[in-house]
Amino acid sequence: MANLVVVEKHEKKKFINAIFYPTLFVVILSIIHFVQYAFDLNFYQFGIYPKETKGLVGIITSIFIHGNFNHLFNNTIPLLILGSALFYFYKPVAVKIVVWIVLMGGFWTWVMARESYHIGASGLIYGLFSFLLVSGFIRLNKQLIALSFFVVIVYGSMVWGIFPIKLSISYEAHFWGFVSGIILAIFYRKQGLQKEVHVWEDEDHDDDEKQYWKTGYDDEQYKVNYKEDGKS
């Protein structure tokens, strides 16, 4: 019973930590846009302007700039959901994934997109979407596969955004963010949760010849880990 309480507290802490960074990012986006709106400022110049030196800074800054409140709101929900899922299930590499999606997707947008200012965090969203989608199937972990199906069901229609259907949106940023997520899912496939391997062991020294499934869960080590954290 005590172990169950410890596990529940650990999962609660893990969930809170997972939603912290996406929520903080959304708050920052909201503050920046409110400042732009309240003081009648124009931050478009901080977007990605392809093939121009002045547009290089946008690789980093463009994700913080949005055209209007509707644009910001449409990006907020998927950032919170997909971002939290990333930090919950892929915490060891989560920051790296976000940084590389921004850099890779932003750079390729700068190289190949139309000559216009490209702003918004949607490229990052498409990168998170494709990473979570592909990574689960590559790793063959049950939890991650379930997450991949969730992403498909909830956000599967996003895939149309990578095609030049609506020319008023930056489908280039969507496309290169999407590609970046797939590449990163393959590159980081060995880090984090992996496929559960069950080993059938026959203990000869056991008089009853007991056999059991070994799932990789070590109860004694589990207790030691929590004692080291100051818990019992």
pLDDT tens per residue across span 156-210 = 999 999 999 988 899 999 999 999 999 999 999 988 777 766 555 555 545 444 4
Closest CA to 62 of 27, 107, 21: 107
Kind and range of the H or E element at 104? helix 91-112
Q: Which pTM value belongs to this model?
A: 0.81
- Flag whether 37 is in a domain: yes
222, 156: one domain: no
| CATH number of the domain within which 28 lies | 1.20.1540.10
Tell whether the model's pLDDT for residue 142 goes beyond 70: yes
How many alpha carbons lie under 13 Å from residue 194 in its C-beta half-sphere?
8
pLDDT score at 198: 55
Say if residue 152 is in the same domain as residue 207.
no
Question: Is the residue at 193 inside a domain?
Answer: no
Residues 172 and 211 grouped into a single domain: no
The answer to whether position 111 is within a domain reads yes
Q: Is residue 195 part of a domain?
A: no
**Same domain, yes or no: 112 and 209:** no
d(CA 62, CA 53): 14
Residue 218 and residue 115 in one domain: no
Residues β-bridged to residue 160: none
Expressed as residue numbers, the domain containing 181 is 2-187
pLDDT at 148 (0 to 100):
94
Q: How many domains does the chain have?
A: 2
pLDDT average, residue stretch 66-84: 96
